[in-house]
A and B are shown apart, each in its own frame.
Chain A
Amino acid sequence: MTRVTEWVSGLGHVVNEKIARLGFAARFFVMLLVYSGQSFRRFPLTIREIYFSGVLSLLIILVSGLFVGLVLGLQGYETLQRYGSADALGVLVALSLTRELGPVVAALLFASRAGSSVTAEIGLMKATEQLTAMDMMAVNPMARVVAPRFWGGVISMPLLAAMFSAMGVFGGYLIGVVFIGVDDGAFWSQMQSSVDFRQDIINGVIKSFVFGVAVSLIAVFEGYDSTPTAEGVSRAITRTVVTSALAILALDFVLTSFMFRGL
């Protein structure tokens, strides 16, 4: 009996804590937006973060995009040629990439490559009192440390996703046209007639922007909220990767159901 009440009250405690954390996250987001203005006045800080989150993620994004495109090309061809419509390979590759794989896979890679390092950096700065020191120097860490990292990620993400998709289409072209011998003209013209600029490309960009906001917010929040110890920081990094992945997939479902309904 006591065990049951203990369990229930324990559960209540956990739920309470989670909700309080969510509330703190919301307050944090508002603060972040408020201090973003200040951080834009020092734009070099954001440029630096674009370098760390964007430029340094280039390699993994381009290579993965190429391989995803190659695999799509191979698998797509296998299936399509059974129905005699191998010409539609370009459509298949381009639509899968621009609508789904580009934004989603690029965001997952981004979360584990750049998001985790942002969390680690902010967490360690907190653990070594660098954030407190900055605050004591009358420099707001929200404006100088958190906001530039957030916006660096938000700006990088759509660009990375576009590069991923472009690289993937190139991979599909390489396999389909260069190696297998699908007709070059059909590959591109079918693709162009079925991929719509507004419906597919712009929606894909919107998706990657939303993922960029989500991943960057999770990364900076987990770092800022981490327990200032080695263990606390490592747990925060894990949480960043896991929460980001869940958020990306859940948001993708929601966005897809809004964007492509009735198509």
Chain B
Amino acid sequence: MNRKLLDLWVGFFVAFGIAALLFLALKVGNLSSANFSETYALQAKFDNIGGLKVRAPVKSAGVAVGRVGEIRFDPQTYEAVVTINVDARYHFPKDTFASILTSGLLGEQYVGLDVGGDEKLLQAGDVIAKTQSAVVLEKLISQFLFSKASDGPDKK
């Protein structure tokens, strides 16, 4: 086979392969959108994080503003310490409220930030004071059943 033609084919092949890799990285993966270049870390303590995972999104008003960086168990307070990396473009007031929410009924869990009214802003390394834990479906159901059972006879 002609050497030039062979080089040409191999060139096409490699270019095509790299294009496929780029497609996977940019269009399929999150390299383009959700990798915030500059971030600062905040911490939030929860009694229960449910099924929250590392790299889960952090959203405010439904817009992704960061990602969960680290999840740790604090043996002193028996709480979960969640480190979130927030895009450096966004700043939030001191009294921002962090809660663990679920997208849809069975969707993945994420951290929602509800903005407060404080003048002072959270700085890197600060701890978010006000948090709300994840809603654990099993607990909810058992609570519901208990309350039904306890006030069941009166209703009938």
A: residues with CB less than 8 A from B are 44, 47-48, 50-51, 54-55, 58, 83-85, 88, 94, 98, 156, 158-160, 162-163, 165-167, 169, 188, 191-197, 199-201, 204-205, 263
Contacts and interface: CB of A to CB of B under 8 A. Distances in A.
A94 B55 CA distance: 17
Contact of A159 (B17, B29, B31): B17
Contacts of B108: 194
A108 B107 CA distance: 34
B7 interface: yes
A54 B104 CA distance: 44
A192 B29 contact: yes
Q: Most B CB atoms within 10 A — which of A55, A167, A169, A191? A: A55
Contact of B10 (A47, A85, A197, A205): A47
Interface string B1-36: 101001101101110111011011101111111110
Contacts of B25: 197, 201
A89 B107 CA distance: 13
Contacts of B20: 159, 162-163, 165-167
B128 interface: no
Contacts of A191: 28
A54 to B, nearest CB: 5
Contact of B13 (A55, A84, A98): A55
Interface string B22-57: 011101111111110000000000000000010101
Interface of B: 1, 3, 6-7, 9-10, 12-14, 16-18, 20-21, 23-25, 27-35, 53, 55, 57, 64, 104-108
A194 B25 CA distance: 12
A88 B105 CA distance: 13
B61 to A, nearest CB: 16
Nearest to A204: B24
Nearest to B19: A166
14 contacts: A47-B6, A51-B6, A83-B106, A85-B106, A158-B21, A159-B13, A162-B24, A165-B20, A169-B28, A192-B32, A193-B64, A195-B30, A196-B55, A199-B55
B53 A192 contact: no
A98 B25 CA distance: 10
A200 B55 CA distance: 12
Contacts of A94: 28
Contact of A51 (B10, B16, B53, B107): B10
A197 B29 contact: yes
Contacts of A85: 104, 106-107
